[in-house]
Amino acid sequence: MKRFTILALAFALTLGVFVSPYASSRPDGLERVATDQGFVDAATSSSTYGTYAGLTGTLLVFVIGAGLALRRR
């Protein structure tokens, strides 16, 4: 069970960090509003938040899930 957990976490982290920044090239709702209001060019184009969000979100879900699983034992 430990081996599966470690492999699943490694796979999820790989997806969260390396694949999620390329998930969609279509603009989201906030970008649409920025375009409609005319301030889309004020935003910076280079961002690493996608990488940090994938890493943080994956680890947060894992920690919460592990805590709930250990609590039930």
What residues does each domain of the chain span?
2-72
CB under 8 Å to 59, separation ≥6 — which residues? 13
Query: How far is the C-alpha of 52 from the C-alpha of 58, rounded, in Å?
Result: 10
Q: Tens digit of pLDDT for each residue in 16-61? A: 888 877 777 777 787 888 888 888 777 665 566 666 888 888 899 9
State yes or no: pLDDT of 64 exceeds 90. Answer: yes
Query: How far is the C-alpha of 1 from the C-alpha of 47, rounded, in Å?
Result: 37
Query: How far is the C-alpha of 24 from the C-alpha of 54, rounded, in Å?
Result: 14
Full-prediction pTM beyond 0.75?
no
State yes or no: pLDDT of 63 exceeds 90. Answer: yes
Binning pLDDT at 50, 70 and 90, where does residue 62 land?
Answer: very high
Closest CA to 43 of 31, 52, 29: 31
